[in-house]
Structure 1
Amino acid sequence: MAPTLAITTNTEPSKVTDFVLNKGFGVKGLSESGLRSLPKEYIQPIEERIITVNEVVHGESIPIIDMSKWDDPKMADSICNAAEKWGFFQIVNHGVPIEVLESVQEATCRFFGLPAEEKNTHSKENSGSNNVRYGTSFTPEAEKALEWKDYLSLFYVSDDEASALWPAACRDEVLEYMKKTETVIKRLLRVLVKRLNVTEIDTEKENLLMGSKRINLNYYPICPNPELTVGVGRHSDVSTLTILLQDEIGGLYVRVEESDNWIHVRPIKGSLVINIGDALQIMSNGRYKSVEHRVAANGKSDRISVPIFVNPRPSDMISPFPEVFATAQGTAIYKQVLYSDYVKHFFRKAHDGKRTVDFAKI
């Protein structure tokens, strides 16, 4: 059903909230309602707008790593060096079939093309499980300005639960995508922890590094005033690793800590973007960096992205690996924290850059 409420910049906030959140139309509904200017709830402070915060460097790029030669020590060095300096890198020839990537992108579009009433059966208020969540923005109740994004978030427990609870419009394609990325995730983690003097990933360490996974299907509709808002605000992920599938539109920006500039991660067909999350920064005692990133709104085209968040289990305690100190001087800069407490802290507030990791500092 097409949206029927005429939304303008001056529409009462309660009506915008009801339309977007309660009725489930999301920002996709706003975009399709004939909106010509941005509702004030979405207008970000000047310092948060991508085109005004520092200089956006267009000629620079995060590392692009060819994964076709897994046993090449140079490839392993490239991965670890990128994780230390940039916190982000892009991989090609990674072994996940292009048709799998295209299928999950098509499934994402198919889900968000469903009627609002159908998508809204998976909202926080209506979903039969906390593991399946359709929503918009990040944490609307805590945000001074909303983000221009709708999402479907799926926490993986088992194939049986996914079959019972995940939306049929995207379920099979999402499960296949998650299965096909399993090998590349394990290989990346094996390489990364080896530099931390962890020579073997036993069952305990594998559970700690990748004991749970969440996948998001993100939808960024055309925005009437993209320069006034953001698709996603400044943050670092709370994951161990994040594996991101971009479409050809692009819009992901990464902060370069050394220069305090932002660079655009240019889409490469068939590639996957990898970034270090807070959990691995903590486990590496700060050697690997989880870096601030954000997503621009777009005034010309709808955009989608599909990140897989590879996480510890909620019940895991995370802290620096003892092996990190085996051959190097230094003391722990992070304390032991329960991972579920860390994640709850992240989701209680609006996006605020790198402040979440302070929760784990000694």
Structure 2
Amino acid sequence: MAPSFLDGNSMFNFVVRDGNGVKGMVDFGLSEVPEQYVQPPEERIDKLNATAHDNPPIDLSKLDGPDHDQIVEEIATAAETLGFFQVMNHGVPVELLESLKDAANNFFGQPPEKKAVYRKGVSPSPSVRYGTSFVPDKEKALEWKDYISMRYTTDAEALEYWPQECKDVALEYLRTSIKMVRKVLEILIGKLGVTLDDSKIDGLIGLKLVNMNFYPTCPNPELTVGVGRHSDMGILTVLLQDDIGGLYVKMEEEMDGKRKGDWLEIPPVPGALVINVGDTLQILSNGRYKSAEHRVRTTRTKSRVSIPIFTIPKPTERIGPLPQVVERDGVARYREFIFEEYMNNFFSNAHDGKKSLDFAKNIWPA
């Protein structure tokens, strides 16, 4: 017998606690979005009035060649303004990207009981977690998304515990992407006039998560969001979109005729990857680089997948504005902290724009 999605407790237990996810609910043939997923009007995404971000992808194959300095400038400018940019010729084979999308669809296409074995509390490894929304117990309106999150420790553990349907391709995606992440990070740190040794870079990207996100078809996409407004907590995020699109980024300042506060859609480009700045890189740069506030819409016609890699400091890493940058700026805009404290704060609150950064802000006496 189908559960009642009109009853909030019944719906929550079915979707969240029993691990059926949004897809399990959609597979019963929903004709309208349950009340718990209806976003307040100010949080809904107006697809028709959004502007597309029309900057072409940055060609990373030109690094270390005659156009090296120009590409470095393009990367730094993007990080200083929107906090988002797309890259091509990034070293991750296009065939691998196609295989990733197939693997994600295969994983989420399984019966609910096959996915539910990775729920928090029952998963065979604390490094692998299947869930839905972001922090369902604390959200006023739930997000229309299911996900599998895989934390990397070693190849051996990944091959043993990551889901069979996606582990090989996800591991290869991580291996090939991390070289690019390191290169981009070194460029951005260099543009701050700072050089960090390899061990410091290792510490800043020492924790790596590969997520696969699934956004099922939605009967009322204008009422919901796939992911609410937020910024990422780490250093840099690498994102593979499928061809459906639905990623929106908020303008922090006026640029190219676009107003502060406008939402830009990042359209998918075949073969390209999206890179965005996280909170930690904004803190390290003392605010010069912008962690991008972004969100994701749902769609009525076709389910969507996206596959991000989050590069995050080790929990024991001490994070704060780089001393050389503070000396130049004359003020530290953020305080120093152990990264685990930031991570715990981030995951204990519902998405709320860039509010997570408040944790790190220096509070000046009145």
TM-score (ref. length: structure 1): 0.94
Deviation at residue 323 of structure 1 after TM alignment: 2.3
Q: 2:29 aligns with which of 29, 34, 37?
A: 34
Deviation at residue 63 of structure 1 after TM alignment: 5.6
What per-residue deviation string (whole Å, max 9, x for no partner) do you get for residues 152-188 of structure 1?
0011000111122111111111001111112211110
In structure 2, the residue matched to 1:293 is 294
Task: State the identity %.
Answer: 48
In structure 2, the residue matched to 1:5 is 2
The answer to whether the 8 A contact 1:234-1:294 is kept is yes
In structure 1, the residue matched to 2:257 is none
Residues 7/252 of structure 1: CA separation in 2 closer, same or farther (3 Å cut):
farther
Structural mapping, 1:1-362, within 5 Å: 5=2, 7-8=4-5, 11-51=6-46, 56-61=49-54, 64-71=57-64, 72-199=68-195, 201-258=196-253, 259-325=260-326, 328-362=328-362
Uncovered stretches (5+) of structure 1, i.e. residues with no partner: none
Deviation at residue 6 of structure 1 after TM alignment: 5.2
Q: Distance in 2 between matches of 1:324 and 1:291?
A: 21
Q: Distance in 2 between matches of 1:178 and 1:106?
A: 16
Residues 156/124 of structure 1: CA separation in 2 closer, same or farther (3 Å cut):
same
Q: Distance in 2 between matches of 1:240 and 1:270?
A: 23
Residues 59/160 of structure 1: CA separation in 2 closer, same or farther (3 Å cut):
closer
Deviation at residue 7 of structure 1 after TM alignment: 4.7
SS in 2 for 1:106: helix
Residues 270/249 of structure 1: CA separation in 2 closer, same or farther (3 Å cut):
same
SS in 2 for 1:224: coil
Residues 134/194 of structure 1: CA separation in 2 closer, same or farther (3 Å cut):
same
The answer to whether the 8 A contact 1:56-1:261 is kept is no
Q: Distance in 2 between matches of 1:146 and 1:37?
A: 15
Residues 99/345 of structure 1: CA separation in 2 closer, same or farther (3 Å cut):
same
The answer to whether the 8 A contact 2:39-2:141 is kept is yes
SS in 2 for 1:122: coil
SS in 1 for 2:311: strand
Uncovered stretches (5+) of structure 2, i.e. residues with no partner: 254-259
The answer to whether the 8 A contact 1:253-1:264 is kept is yes
Q: Distance in 2 between matches of 1:336 and 1:56?
A: 40
In structure 1, the residue matched to 2:256 is none
Deviation at residue 59 of structure 1 after TM alignment: 4.5
Deviation at residue 64 of structure 1 after TM alignment: 2.5
Residues 29/62 of structure 1: CA separation in 2 closer, same or farther (3 Å cut):
farther
The answer to whether the 8 A contact 1:7-1:30 is kept is no
The answer to whether the 8 A contact 1:63-1:82 is kept is no
The answer to whether the 8 A contact 1:64-1:92 is kept is yes
Q: Distance in 1 between matches of 2:4 and 2:76?
A: 48
Deviation at residue 329 of structure 1 after TM alignment: 3.4
SS in 1 for 2:164: coil
Q: Distance in 2 between matches of 1:195 and 1:308?
A: 24
The answer to whether the 8 A contact 1:334-1:361 is kept is yes
CA RMSD of aligned residues (A): 1.5
The answer to whether the 8 A contact 1:62-1:265 is kept is no
Q: Distance in 1 between matches of 2:51 and 2:128?
A: 37
Aligned residue type for 2:17: N
TM-score (ref. length: structure 2): 0.93
The answer to whether the 8 A contact 2:52-2:267 is kept is no
Deviation at residue 74 of structure 1 after TM alignment: 0.3
Q: Distance in 1 between matches of 2:52 and 2:265?
A: 9
Aligned residue type for 1:331: V
Deviation at residue 330 of structure 1 after TM alignment: 1.9
Q: Distance in 1 between matches of 2:108 and 2:4?
A: 20
SS in 2 for 1:356: helix
SS in 2 for 1:208: helix
Aligned residue type for 1:64: P
